[in-house]
């Protein structure tokens, strides 16, 4: 089980791979996350028009690919789920990284110049490729299911993700999460033994503990901005696992109880 493979005390998760060191959600970012000693990986997944699960964060390819300069330029702001896998993998998903300081996290002393300079032939990976890497390296992985624009909440992506998890023999390493909690309840039916985490980005209006129990999740992944340390402690005391995102400042992390994990753009700063 995922939680048996990570420490009980401040587990460090690499957000979209080590996204301060390499283009987010690509194989180089994932390899760097593992190499720098992160305890687990966090990635985002989406379904393509032809039913493949790809590792990608945004709704559209505009920000993290070269689509604007490609033959697909006219579709730069179209949703990922309108592209086939072949179309998405025809794009360069690495060169944008060198041209930007994407999130203010790439700073001197953390990134060798050659890292920031060149990711010339990087493509959008499939979930299968990433799960193969995780199995090979026994690297725990948090798979975040992003919403499918046209068919929000339908079960196609949940089924496809769990099929890949079973196929790649990574059930022992995977934690599923989503902001769309319908995917979590579907997953509980499809494969109850794969643990689930509820992503939370706004303060819950009622009793969050009751809600999480109702969802039957093993973990809560809240935005740290809406999670005072006392709330994290209460969740832990209630037997839930907690991973806060996105914390890049060790002083912010230190305010939380040791049992809380963090998901960070800069795992190299914490491990």
One of 44, 81, 92, 115 touching Mg ion (CB under 5 A) = 44
CB of 202 to ligand G3P, least distance (A): 13
Q: Which does 263 bind (CB under 5 to 8 A by kind): ligand G3P, Mg ion, none?
A: ligand G3P
The answer to whether residue 144 forms part of the interface with ligand G3P (CB under 6 A) is yes
Indicate the residue among 72 and 176 with the shorter CB distance to ligand G3P: 176
Q: Which does 265 bind (CB under 5 to 8 A by kind): Mg ion, ligand G3P, none?
A: none
The answer to whether residue 42 forms part of the interface with ligand G3P (CB under 6 A) is yes
Residues 112-171 that bind Mg ion (CB under 5 A): 144
CB of 163 to ligand G3P, least distance (A): 22
The answer to whether residue 39 forms part of the interface with ligand G3P (CB under 6 A) is no
One of 34, 196, 221, 241 touching ligand G3P (CB under 6 A) = 221
Q: What DSSP assignment string belongs to the chain?
A: -GGGGS-SS--EEEETTTTTTSSTTSHHHHHHHHHTT-SEEEEEEEE-TTS-EEE--SSSSTTTSSGGGSTTGGGTTS-GGGS-HHHHHTS-SSHHHHH--TTS---TTTS-HHHHH--TT--PPBHHHHHHHHHHHT--EEEEEPP-GGGTT-SHHHHHHHHHHHHTT-TTTEEEEESSHHHHHHHHHH-TTS-EEEEE-S--SS-HHHHHHHHT-SEEEEBGGG--HHHHHHHHHTT-EEEEE----HHHHHTS-TT-EEEES-GGGT-
Indicate the residue among 87 and 147 with the shorter CB distance to ligand G3P: 147
Residues 175-214 that bind ligand G3P (CB under 6 A): 177, 199
CB of 238 to ligand G3P, least distance (A): 21
Indicate the residue among 42 and 81 with the shorter CB distance to ligand G3P: 42
Please give the residue ranges that form the binding site for Mg ion (CB under 5 A): 44, 144
Please give the residue ranges that form the binding site for ligand G3P (CB under 6 A): 15, 42, 44, 57, 144, 177, 199, 221, 245, 263
């Amino acid at each position: 089980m995922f939680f048996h493979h990570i420490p009980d005390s401040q587990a460090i998760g690499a957000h979209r791979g080590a996204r301060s060191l390499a283009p987010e959600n690509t194989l180089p970012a994932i390899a760097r996350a593992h190499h720098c000693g992160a305890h687990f990986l966090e990635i985002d997944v989406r379904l393509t028009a032809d039913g493949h699960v790809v590792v990608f964060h945004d709704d559209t390819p505009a920000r993290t690919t070269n689509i604007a300069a490609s033959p697909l330029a006219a579709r730069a702001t179209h949703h990922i789920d309108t592209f086939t896998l072949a179309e998405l993998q025809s794009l360069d998903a690495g060169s944008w990284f060198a041209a930007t300081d994407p999130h203010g996290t790439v700073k001197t002393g953390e990134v060798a110049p050659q890292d920031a300079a060149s990711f010339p032939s990087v493509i959008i990976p499939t979930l299968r490729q990433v799960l193969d890497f995780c199995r090979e390296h026994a690297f725990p992985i948090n798979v975040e299911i992003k919403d499918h624009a046209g068919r929000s909440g339908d079960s196609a992506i949940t089924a496809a993700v769990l099929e890949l998890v079973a196929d790649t023999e990574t059930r022992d390493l995977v934690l599923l999460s989503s902001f769309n909690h319908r995917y979590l309840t579907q997953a509980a039916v499809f494969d109850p033994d794969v643990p689930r985490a509820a992503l939370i980005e706004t303060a819950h209006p009622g009793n969050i503990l009751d809600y999480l129990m109702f969802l039957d999740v093993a973990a809560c992944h809240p935005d740290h901005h809406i999670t005072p340390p006392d709330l994290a402690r209460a969740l832990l005391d209630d037997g839930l696992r907690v991973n806060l995102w996105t914390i890049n400042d060790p002083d912010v992390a230190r305010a939380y109880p040791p049992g809380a994990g963090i998901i960070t753009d800069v795992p190299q700063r914490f491990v």
